[in-house]
Structure 1
Amino acid sequence: MALLITDECINCDVCEPECPNNAISEGEEIYVIDPALCTECIGHYDEPQCQQVCPVDCIPLDPQHVESSEQLQDKYTRITAIPA
């Protein structure tokens, strides 16, 4: 699954620089995660880094974007591929 930032977000700015896939960006009111880029840090780290640094614990799994570990690994491979 991709992750999701809920409306409990306090815009503390700590999650965005931790994302190795640049999936986190400023939204209109709170930070948002692009599910097309979120791999839950698979391929980079053992745990999602945004969840690790979030002081208000507002980054759960996104039930709208269910993906297996294999699908997340495939997404990581596509995102990090060097164009030919």
Structure 2
Amino acid sequence: MDAEVLREATAAPTDRPCELLDARELPPPEPLQRTLEWTADANGTVLVQVNDRAPKHLYPRLADRGFQYDTAETDDGVVTAVWKE
């Protein structure tokens, strides 16, 4: 699975490096925790999270931290890109 290809399904910036978090097999709340840990040291990268559903509990926490996000359904799963402007 290629993070850059998956990012193209979202409105995330394409001029930055990106990291992939495949959360489809992770039990709750691990996807949420790993994503929030990533926000502490994002360093201008875009996180591309693949999950089996939209991470609705994550959205308000990202907004509180000043992060942008966009979610799209793809053949690989639900892709959520996270970045800071």
* Larger relative strand fraction: 2
Task: Judge same fold: TM > 0.5, yes or no.
Answer: no
TM score, norm. by length of structure 2? 0.29
